Chain A
Amino acid sequence: MKGKREIGLLVVLVVLIAACSFAKPIFLDPRNINSILLWMPLLLVAAVGQFPVIVARGIDISTGSIVGLSAISVGLLVKASPTIPVPMLFIAGGMVGLILGCLNGLIIAFGKVPAVVATIGTLTAFRGLTFVVSKGDQIDSTAIPQSLTSLANQGINIGNVTISWLLFIGFVLAILAFFASNRLQFYRNIFAFGSNPDAAFLRGISPKTVELICYCASGSLAGVAGTMYLARFGFANPGSAGQGFELIVIAAVAIGGVKITGGSGSIVGVFLGCALLSCINVALTVLGIDADWQLLVYGATILIALIIDSVSQRRKATA
């Protein structure tokens, strides 16, 4: 039963790729596959962070601003000391995200402010902070070292397809999250809390701890995604870095089968959701859909995905 949702997603993914390749054979071109693969790392990492939050019946709408603030912060850091080794940049991004996520967690768990409200508030607050920190200036490509941006184009080559180091990092984090969600007792607590907070409380699972940790995780992974942002684009602008990102992340997680009401879902589903969204986003451009029609098609696709999901859930329930 657990695998059914994921199998369904895999089928949809395959059908989508098949349909697109049929319409435009160029869809399977290695360069296009590379393009899809480059979409994934940022989305995957942030989605893996959003996953525990949603399982715990919360939501993190501030992800985009955390990515932006972290990208700018890391950019400023590398501008000040250009010789910092790349792994440190990822750690720095993660730390910035951790602090921001912790702030979210404190407001939500201890301040008892509902997650939707708190993270909408921090969405704007963090974005404002990004401008303050960067003094309104963009971090230009001259400041970003080759060692960082090369992560986006170098990697393991399978034929002409490149599994970039960036994607690799994404995979590794996702795999770690997968094992954590299956093996770690604490993660099981998150699931328990999400299914039934009262029962979990009576079992001794502290809601405050669960929530705090979830938002810290979401924040720090979004922070890591911020560093990946710098690697992928080579520059960061305080206004546009990460803008709107949270909605794509939440869509990916939701399509991945994670119930917005909490308590269920899997990392595999999240992974497939990310893959699906990446394909859709690239398909929109490659299939030559008129620029003015892309938003409409995107919205319709998400809606159809949700409806299919709902219908299949109901079939499952009555079966």
Chain B
Amino acid sequence: MKRPELIPAILTILVVAFFWKISPDFRDVNYLLANTTIFAETGLLAIGLTLIIISGNIDLSVGSSLVLTSCLVAKFTNDGTPIFVSVLMALIIGTLLGTINGLLITVGKLPSFLVTLATMALYRGAAQAMMGPASAKVPQPLKGIDRSDFHGLPYPFIIFVICALIVGLILHRMILGRWLFGIGTNKEAAHYTGFPVNRATISAFAITGFLIGISALLMDSRLGVARHDLAKGIELDAITIVVAGGTAIAGGKGTMIGTVLSWLLIYFVKTGMGVNNLKAEYQLTIIGIILVLSVFSQQIADRFSTNRQRKTTKIEAR
């Protein structure tokens, strides 16, 4: 399908219309905007994951990196620390954690699923070992970014959109993006074409790490505390967003706009369900079904698409 992102776009419009009709508490644009502050953190992770998944890899450790970064920043800064130092810390730590993943996968030649499964435990474990049961207080100057807005748009939301734009440009307009698509389609061929497979792969993980750093700052700012047991399950949410947005899990296909639209879709679904006090377990089930249906409809649309170029490679592409 030439434009898989049409599916989340259409679904988003349907979902918003549905909840707008049935739920007075949903009909509040201020609230819909303000509530994005919680979900923006997941969105940043999804932006990075888009790059990683397009290049044929996966990163299960994003949530754990997020938590470790946020704990380190909160623990080692205090009210007197200038903000730019905290920001720098978060970005460096996040990028570092991401780069470690990248190195283990490229130089270590380990499959990304297993490596990030291990670092998922390793990073969160490190946070727990460091923090124990305590909370680290976030220094005052860093707090409260979710409460300020720019003409009605909360800053976390703006940051998310800007990052999506920038990383989207990298993906679709710069050479790194072309390399990532190539590696995701066929790693061997990419290598023989002269693409710097290792460098590009590590870059994808490093960029994700950078975004995780930003996300950690947002989370610290919003909650005012950092703990080792925060953000559990966020990696699954992020992967759901990326895949439901039209990015193929096998790699080689996907768009940033798809991820953004998918983020919107899932955001509205969650907000709509929440405001109607739908039981937590039903919410889970519905998100799971949306994921499967979304990908399923992409597959159907693929079949009906007139673009039949991939017929000969279809056996492999299944």
Contact = CB atoms under 8 A, between A and B. Distances in A.
B296 A124 contact: no
B236 interface: yes
Interface residues of A, number: 49
A12 interface: no
B279 A131 contact: yes
Contacts of A298: 121, 125
Interface stretch (B4-12, B103-111, B193-201): B103-111
Given A251-B117, A260-B111, A292 B128 contact: yes
By secondary structure, the A interface counts as helix
Given A114-B250, A306-B110, A296 B115 contact: no
Nearest to B280: A131
B288 interface: yes
Interface in B279-315: 279, 281-289, 291-292, 295-296, 299, 315
Interface in B101-131: 104, 108-111, 113-115, 117-126, 128-129, 131
Contacts of A116: 58, 243, 249
B173 interface: no
Contacts of A159: none
Nearest to A211: B318
Interface in B74-117: 104, 108-111, 113-115, 117
By secondary structure, the B interface counts as helix
Contacts of B288: 120-125, 128
Contacts of A129: 285
A15 interface: no
Contacts of A260: 111, 113-114
Contact of B109 (A117, A207, A314): A314
Given A125-B292, A260-B111, 10 more contacts: A59-B113, A111-B296, A122-B292, A124-B287, A130-B281, A260-B114, A293-B128, A296-B128, A296-B129, A299-B123
16 contacts: A111-B299, A112-B318, A116-B58, A120-B236, A120-B240, A121-B291, A123-B236, A125-B289, A131-B281, A292-B129, A292-B133, A295-B125, A298-B125, A299-B124, A299-B125, A303-B119
Interface of A: 59, 107, 111-114, 116-118, 120-125, 127-132, 136, 197-198, 201, 207, 238, 247, 250-251, 254, 260-261, 290, 292-300, 302-303, 306-307, 310, 314
